[in-house]
Amino acid sequence: MLSLDPGTSMTKMVYCLPSEIPSKAEMLCMESELIKISKDSLDLYESGQMSRPNPENEAWIEYKEEYYAVGFLAQKYFEARINFLELKYENAIPKTLAAVGAIAMREGLNSHLDLSLGLLLPYGEWEDRERLEMGLKKALSNFSFRGKEFCVNLISFQCLPEGGGLVLTRSKKLGTDFNKMNIAVVMLGFRDISAVIFTRGISTGKTEGLGLAWMLERIKSRTSGQNLNDLLKAVHLSGSALKPRFFNTLARSKNAEFKAAEVAQIIEVAELSRKEYWNKVSIWLSVNIPVDIQQVIIGGGTSEYLATELKNLFTYTEISWAAELEEDVRLAFNLPPKKDAMCLRFTDVYGLFRYQKTTSTMSSHRAS
């Protein structure tokens, strides 16, 4: 049983083996990079390896006679870069194959498997879920992971818009009141932001390319020689008050005086870009979130970065931060508090996983 969020900054997974009693939830992350490669390039890579890394760090797959490197291998060896124009639902197929293969090898499973899969997509791509399901069924039935052939039977598939795991969690807590209220779900991610509005249970939504990457691209275009991954790390560690010590590693100059001036310039640009970014986000939210909303559920990795601004924007309504799932995630996987914001980033996919597990248990009880 696998719940998967093929995010642009990280592929996040929660899984369990229902055959184990009791079945224990496990979490797994993979870098989000993905690149199509040739058989010759793969053979050259394989010939130069002296050891065998963990499967999630050396993930390559083959299906339909095409080869893909996924995650850390794609990023580190094949120098793949994130393409913000690519559709997540198309990339979800090779990412799912890599996830299934990596988990199977980690857990010592055989090559013939039954899979219950839950998947999160941006609201703007959610309408493609039926096409995705057909593609997944076909691909899973015949693929190879690191040269091992797999035949996976997709026995159930649940696809929800990003924020769906939070909605399911919150609606369970609210019970019948959920369908009597006007509720907004706001997801702020690396590539996109989205808003789904539930008006007495009926949903509508929108997605916009205003994730944190918008701000990072702004900084990159106004400074010299920066890349998104390094900027993301500095911005994330520094938080809303941009501190010089987190930006020192971005300076390219070796001269101490020039380096200090370079860091100061990067911070000045970052502060301006942050203001411009929040201005764009706040306008979009104000346009797309009705004023009669009785509760707003806020999630996604970027929400912590903009927490103060979001609190000030939504003073007129009740805020549910990640459906109060952060502590549940921390306890489920024994994570230290605030560890790289990992608890927050896993709330949505963990909420989906718990829903999958509940519906699977219910189905098995009915069948018995």
- Cα dist from 132 to 91, 140, 203, 299, whole Å: 10, 12, 21, 25
Instruction: Give Cα 111 to chain centroid, integer Å.
Output: 27
Q: Rg of the chain over CA atoms, in angstroms?
A: 21
Residue entry with tokens 């793949």: 80
Token duo for residue 66? 């095409």
Burial class (CB in 10 A: 0-12, 13-18, 19+), 298: buried
Partners of 26 in the β-ladder: 15
Q: pTM for this structure?
A: 0.91
Tokens of 146: 């690191």
- C-alpha–C-alpha distance, residues 198 and 349, integer Å: 20
User: Residue 56: CB partners within 8 Å, gap ≥ 6?
Assistant: 28, 29, 30, 71, 72, 102, 106
In the three-class reduction of DSSP (H, G, I as helix; E, B as strand; rest coil), residue 8 is classed as coil
Residue 249: partners with Cβ closer than 8 Å, 6 or more residues away? 230, 234
| CA 140 vs CA 27, 77, 113, 182: distances in Å | 21, 25, 10, 39
Domain annotation for the chain: domains and CATH numbers: 2-161 (3.30.420.40), 163-324 (3.30.420.40)
**Per-position pLDDT tens, the chain of length 368:** 999 999 888 999 999 998 887 889 999 999 999 999 999 999 999 998 888 899 999 999 999 999 999 999 999 999 998 877 677 878 999 999 999 999 999 999 999 999 999 999 988 888 889 999 999 999 999 999 999 999 999 999 999 999 999 999 999 999 999 999 999 999 999 999 999 999 988 999 999 999 999 999 999 999 888 888 888 888 888 877 888 888 888 888 888 888 888 888 989 999 999 999 999 999 999 999 999 999 999 999 899 999 999 999 999 999 999 999 999 999 999 988 765 678 999 999 999 999 999 887 545 444 44
Closest CA to 286 of 190, 193, 178: 193
Rounded to whole angstroms, the Cα distance separating 151 from 134 reads 15
**Planar angle of CA 254, 255, 259, nearest 5 degrees:** 80
